[in-house]
Amino acid sequence: MADEAHEREARLRSQLLTHREGRSPLNVVRHLLAIQAQDLRGARLAIRPRSTGVVAADVDAALARRELLVSWLNRGTLHLVAADDYWWLHPLTTPQLRTANATRLRQEGVSPEQAERGIETVMAAVAEAPQTRSALRARLDDAGVPTAGQALVHLLFEATLPGLIVRGPMVGPEHAFVSVEGWLGPAPRPLDRADALRLLASRYLAGHAPATDRDLARWAGITLADARLGLAAADPPDVAAGKPPSPRWPSPRLLGAFDPLLHGWVSRTPFVGAQGKVVTTNGVFRPVALVGGRVVATWSLPDGVVTLVPLESIPEGDLARLATDGADVLRYLGRPHQPVVISDPRVS
């Protein structure tokens, strides 16, 4: 049990959760390599507990400065990454997704000819200016390309796979698509596959060690054989260096939806324990509260009020610290201060 506790603490440390420093959004994203971002507010919130002195608007500013971007990468899921990491991570993690997406387009009633016309339409639009999803839908509808159901998503995915578009700046409240070449400039010289796998494994371990080949394969959406090749060439961090006699848990804090802590390994049991239902059957990862490095509650933000729902008994002192962190969530999001609400509190 002591070894399990130290492994959990080491992972929390790799995840930048055991101590907070004045890190920029770019610093945090670089360290974690890729932050799941189909819920963009959740991706923004992933920066807060791993830094000090920043706000959510700083993430949007980094997107506008072309330091960060969002694209479909690992496992075919939207991720927030540093712009320069996109160049090698995209060709490493997306080619295997093309066949499945072509099948989905056919299932959504989009013919190969319509898909080709759709990509041409999207590229003409982003050549003019960053385009929101709703603006691209209107362009595609005008071009006679199906967008109903999931067709629009898979058309945009189809334009992403060959490296034509990514999500760049915010346009009002919406995230906008841009041309890769127009937004980022010419592509750098590509890495060969062995070098890219070594880099992937090294960067993954920096934010997730201790971890196994199966953990890396699951997280990146690559084969187990490729994960083993990368890890064999990587220089793993020495996670045992300076190991304290007993684990040092992070202070109680709130994590956003789809936080990287719940995505990094094959099993999330060390962090969620019996609270596995914080991940719903349809794959939604709820915002959670950590105490002692474990999930003890979920939380939400109805009407701008942080509402905490305990999943087990929480000591009064820890509950007070979570309320303080809830106030910091509102500060980070630029919301007015409101007292944290405890729904059905279970205080020991």
pLDDT tens, position by position, 241-260: 455 666 789 999 999 999 99
pLDDT at position 247: 78
Res 275: pLDDT? 83
Instruction: Please report which residue ranges of the chain form alpha helices under DSSP H.
Output: 2-14, 25-32, 40-47, 56-64, 83-93, 98-107, 112-128, 133-142, 151-160, 180-184, 193-208, 213-220, 224-233, 269-272, 316-333
The DSSP symbol for 131 reads E
Q: In the chain, which stretches have pLDDT less than 70?
A: 1-2, 238-246, 281, 345-348
Cα 44 to chain center, whole Å? 9
Cα–Cα distance measured from residue 296 to residue 273, given in angstroms and rounded to the nearest whole number? 9
Place of tokens 């700046």: 169
Total residues found in the chain within this entry = 348
**Would you state the pLDDT for residue 226?**
98
Q: What is the pLDDT of residue 281?
A: 66
What are the residues whose beta carbons fall under 8 Å from the beta carbon of 202, sequence distance 6 or more? 230, 234, 235, 236
Query: What is the predicted pLDDT for the residue at 124?
Result: 98
> What residues contact 38, with CB distance under 8 A and at least 6 apart?
77, 78, 258
Q: Contact at 8 Å (CB) between 152 and 137?
A: yes
